[in-house]
Chain A
Amino acid sequence: MGSNTTEWKTLIITKPKKHCTKSAVDDHPLRTHTNIEYMPRKILGSQPSTGSSTPASITPSVFLQPLSDALEGLDPLTQFAIQETDPLSQIASEMKYDTFKEEVSMSRNQRKHKVIIDIEPWSSRKNAILSKFTTSEKLTIISSFLSDGEGVVLKTQNTAVDKVQHRLEQLDYFDEGSQRKLDLSQAEYVGRIEQLNQELVSTWNSEQRVKALKIAIQCAKVLADSDVLRFYPSKFVLITDILDIFGHLVYERLRTKADYYKPGSKIPTTLPEDFTPDIVPESAKETCRNWFYKIASIRELVPRLYVEMAILKSYSFLTSSEYSAALLRLTHMIRGIGNPLVAIYARCYLCRVGLTVTTTEKDKDYLKENFYDFLDTYNQVFGRYALEGLKIQKMSLETYLTLYTPALDFILQAVASGAPESLLVELLDRCRNHRNNYLLLNTIMSAFKPIYIATRAVQLLELISENNDQDFPLYLLIRTLGVSVCACPPPKEHRRQVVNVAWHSISELTNPEHYITCVEVWIEFVVQHFTFREVNIIIGDIVSHLSPNRAYEQYYNKLKCIVMNIISHMQDFEALLAMDNFLPLIDLFQQEAVKIEVCKLILNACNTIQHTNDPVITNALLFLCTILHDSINALTVEDERRQISELLCNVVKRVDYGRDFEQQLNFYAEARAAFSNLDTVLAQLVQCVNTLAVNVQKIVKGHHTRKTGSFVRACAAYCFITIPSIVSVYTRLELYLLSGRVALFNSCLGQADACFKTALKILPELVMDENQKQAETFLLSYVRNFLSVLLTVPDSPDSGVLNCTRILLNTLQSTKWNSGSMIVATLYLNVLDMLSTMAQETYPYHVTKVESNDTLYGSDPKFISEIDKMCTIILRELLSQLKQIGSGRKQAELSLDLMVKIVTLGDLNKNGLITLAINLWQLSLKHGYVDPKYMIRTKEYLNAKGNNDVLLQVLQRLSI
């Protein structure tokens, strides 16, 4: 080589002089460049909200696009954020899926489940009952089928005789002695029942049907006593599940073992699913009859009723769907059950089974009959023995009565579905005559169609207030009415009266628990149908009710629901924030976690507002945001930070003072003070301020007055002092460059200069990044971007020629980059590009109102030689790098690149450059690392470009 002494001379392309006058144009090549405040925000990498927003507001920037493209493609966080829906809706959809699954499994369990009545299915009630009625008391279970492990040894039976004998033995075994009474906790109890369930199925499958029947009977027997009242509804759910399975097993077996001969076929098959009794063979009927005879001889009343109800469906083998007689008979037989709770649940089961078998409207009489039977024996509920039992179990009458609701609700809903309004009138009349009728009223209100209830809301409220000394809790009643009223509003003229009366009762509730359960429901109605004034009053009422004794601490969840309800139904979000009782309501959330959640909810809802400039609302929003922001600490997880940042950014974007720029900037300054912990928010603020500056520039059309001039300088200053608090070096670099450009655009040269220099100062920090690959990729595009900006930046008179470029070069050189990487060399090549452009007479683009170096120096020879000097240094640097790299692919590629640069950018008339170019060509050829095709094409390209003789000369000397 040895050509280190070669001097660089930049080729200055002399364009044919165009005789045209300079004039202002709209379309400037740098136009998009200066609009950088619209830079796609994804570049920041931590603002995923824009990922899902419309990209319409983004003006694609030619200069920035590659970078953002690269990020968009790679950054998994962004990707994730785009796909992710907000957590609330996700939960909602999951729940939907869950219930769907449940329904599917239900329908699988109960095949041929003919629900003709549109009431809430039992399956969904089950879980509610199980979770509501629990107990910590000891439960007893008497059973001979439950074992603690020693178990009943089942002998293997070989012959039929043995089998019969063994069965008989077993029966004896079960009948005598082995019944045990077990004291169990609730969990154990549930476990035992599950065990019984499995036992039943396995017994059935092992052909021991008598034993299976016995298990079913024992299960049903458990329902006969209500020793632990509180647990009874749950017990009912568990046991009836087993009975359902038993009924299903019997039915399916009868069906499949029927030996049915299809018309024209000689092979016995199972009965089709939709058989009619007349095609059932006699033998199957006989078996079926046997089942019913067997059950009819069960001694005890409750088990007999339950087991018959369980296999009720099998009647279809005997007669044609005439269930009504059987259902009515069973309905009346339940009267014999003395314990009112046991009786009502037996009725509930009867209705449940009845619903699955009856098909015609006519058959539904039994439902009504069941309810009337309950009414006729209503006094039994408060009978002497029931009350005595309560005393023993130390249960309040209120809780006792709520035990009735699940069963009663189910029965009455079955009655009410599809029933005419006249039935409601009839029932109300009958209920009026009963003392202590709140329980009945409650059931009626929850059972009938909301529309019927709502039209009678006033009447019902009167009925409720008529007699006050009742045992059933009033708050539940009001709550139930609230549910109906929410679902279907009463006629307009009644609404105010309804709310007044209801709220009068509600606010008289002293127990906060009761109070909040009512409010939770009623708030929806109020929010939907009344104005802010009423809502405000009611919120005030809530606050004053829950404040004493810090009662609110127990009801955060309910309060949250209330807030959610208010938010989701308020059309005007601004009015909500303007209400003077709303923020005190938020203040009730004293527990950090809940408070944050609520704030998040509200701020999420704030998306609905377009822009606001009301100082009250802005303040309220800032208050909420500050709560969120202050919740962040060292332990906050990344995702939480991200969510909060997203919300805060959103708020920042919502506040818009229109043309009151000063106010806007003040707000941003305030926001900066409040949200100093969140990188993303700070970045957002910088972006916003830059947008602001550009907007101002647009409005004055580039001609800044003194006032606007100082304003945009204030903006630049804002950016300059905000950026350093951001942690991420990437964001800082980007923002410095951006702010610098905006400053330049606004002709704030000093500010721009400061921004660029600071950016260069922190550039070495990139080396510290653990992910070198990422840092390099970023560096490459960043420096290129930077160079293209530098072209337009005029030199500062205080410092020397091309001061910024020098600093950049020094920084690149002095920083210890990863030794193996070619990054610096590549960048040097780009610097060569930039410098050679710098030497041209006019630059390809400019910033409006900014005189770049071409105008400043006017191609002064001193300036050109200064550039050439710099180029020479770079050239030397490159050559020494070439040497350092040593021979190999990298060297070959670099030398080829350098050669192309020299040939295209350098003035080849200068002697040394030609030799150097040829040497470099040879070097890249030497080891054959570079694809020869590429070289040929390079040569062709140069050939085509070759417009001067020297170049052609050189080309001739290039061998391949």
Chain B
Amino acid sequence: MSVSLDIFLRKPDKVYHEGESVTGTIVVITPSDFKHDGINLTMEGTVNLQLSSKNVGIIEAFYNSVKPIQLINAYCEVSTAGRIPAGRTEIPFELPLKPSINRSLYETYHGVFINISYSFRCNVKRSFLSKDLQKSQQFFVQYLPQVSKALHPVTFSMSPASVIAKGGRVPDFFIRGHLDSTNCSVLRPFTGHIILERCEMAVRSIELQLVRVETCGCAEGYAKDSTEIQNIQIGDGDVPHNIAIPIYMIFPRLFTCPTLITPSFKIEFEINIVVIFENDYLVTENFPIILTRELQNIDIK
């Protein structure tokens, strides 16, 4: 058996806030004792930006990938050269979560062109005969719950007059709807309702599309891209008329974060309500939303 190296964090959900200290243990399990030239632990946080090939040329996208922005980079020597005895060795550690100078911490986010991620890396140096042991462990950063913003309810209606036709004959319809707020907390579901008041043609599906809008600033200006995060069906088939059909969507973790606007990049979100008719005629209504992290109310209902 070989030596195994692992990093365990104290919190099971691995979510930390700025200013908190991250605690955990480095665990080494080895069948026989061995010598090492030192163990060190690095805490890293980076923003990776990538240019979409749509906005700049393919070659440019390849070469011109924007330099990652380092948000945090802490290094710590856990142990100087020495021996690790056979069996299980646990080395506890504790590091404060603080951004590098002139930087601030952003929430963990995984997108298409922008990735914000945080990780620990542990390195056990060994003599040149044997390879160094390495292990990395991701963790997540979240903002502390902010003061809740005022709700911003929106009422909307859709009719052939209000939309631009896309394919097929335009059926006669009138749809009303209501969104509880466009200021949403990522912790709480996106809610509202939609009512089909009149509809000449049967509806095939009513869907809720969550879209991210990522903007990367670079030397030549900026690139803005909208991509779909998820698409949730709320109405299936010829839905009944004149009854409020709930709009309900839980924001997926990791793929959403509070709306983030920085000088070099922006992460924003939008919601599309899509109504597809039997003849593939499709109407959409777009709502930009502002995501926040409000209230430590984990109740996902």
Contacts and interface: CB of A to CB of B under 8 A. Distances in A.
Contact of A293 (B234, B236, B238, B250): B250
Given A286-B13, A301-B235, A338-B238, A376 B203 contact: no
B301 A338 contact: no
B87 interface: no
B233 A335 contact: no
Given A286-B13, A292-B300, A385-B202, A338 B236 contact: yes
B238 A385 contact: yes
A282 interface: yes
Interface in A332-365: 332-333, 335-340, 342
A418 interface: no
Nearest to B234: A336
Interface string B230-263: 1111111111100111101110110000000000
A333 B234 contact: yes
A336 B230 contact: no
Interface in A366-420: 373, 376-377, 379-380, 383-385
B20 to A, nearest CB: 15
Contacts of B230: 297, 299
Nearest to A225: B237
Contacts of B240: 335, 338, 340, 376-377, 379-380, 383
A296 B253 CA distance: 11
B6 to A, nearest CB: 11
Nearest to B12: A283
A302 interface: yes
A513 B62 CA distance: 78
B206 interface: yes
B220 interface: no
Given A292-B300, A380-B240, A329 B202 contact: no
Given A289-B300, A319-B299, A329 B248 contact: yes
Contacts of A296: 232, 249-250, 252, 300
Contacts, number: 101
A301 B234 contact: yes
Contacts of A297: 230, 232, 250, 252
A376 B202 contact: no
A699 B231 CA distance: 101
A318 B299 CA distance: 8
Contacts of A281: 12
Interface residues of A, number: 38
Interface string A296-332: 1101111010000000000100110000011001001
Given A299-B233, A326-B301, A335 B245 contact: yes
A601 B248 CA distance: 62
A336 B239 contact: yes
Contacts of B250: 292-293, 296-297
Nearest to A383: B238
A339 B12 contact: no
A837 B298 CA distance: 110
Given A299-B231, A336-B245, A377-B243, A325 B301 contact: yes
Contacts of B252: 293, 296-297
Interface string A258-287: 000000000000000000000001110010
A12 B13 CA distance: 117
A296 B299 CA distance: 14
A224 interface: yes
Contacts of A282: 11-13
Interface string B1-20: 00000000001110000000
Contacts of A338: 202-203, 235-240
Contacts of A335: 239-240, 243-246
A779 to B, nearest CB: 87
B206 to A, nearest CB: 7
Given A296-B250, A300-B233, A301-B234, A337 B239 contact: yes
Given A332-B244, A336-B239, A380-B240, A301 B233 contact: yes
A391 to B, nearest CB: 15
Contacts of B233: 299-301, 304, 336
A293 B246 contact: no
Nearest to B239: A338
Contacts of B253: 293
Contacts of B244: 332, 335
Contacts of A302: 236
Contacts of B239: 335-338
B201 to A, nearest CB: 11
Nearest to B231: A299
Contacts of A339: 236-238
B2 to A, nearest CB: 11
- Most chain A CB within 10 A, of B202, B230, B233, B240, is at B240
Given A292-B300, A293-B253, A329-B246, A336 B235 contact: yes
A300 B243 contact: no
Interface in B263-301: 298-301
A342 B235 CA distance: 12
Interface of B: 11-13, 202-203, 206, 230-240, 243-246, 248-250, 252-253, 298-301
5 contacts: A289-B298, A299-B232, A299-B233, A301-B234, A338-B236
Closest 7 CB pairs of A and B: A338-B237, A283-B12, A338-B238, A296-B250, A377-B240, A336-B235, A301-B233
Given A336-B206, A379-B240, A385-B238, 13 more contacts: A224-B236, A281-B12, A282-B11, A282-B13, A289-B298, A297-B232, A315-B301, A332-B245, A336-B246, A337-B239, A338-B239, A373-B243, A385-B237
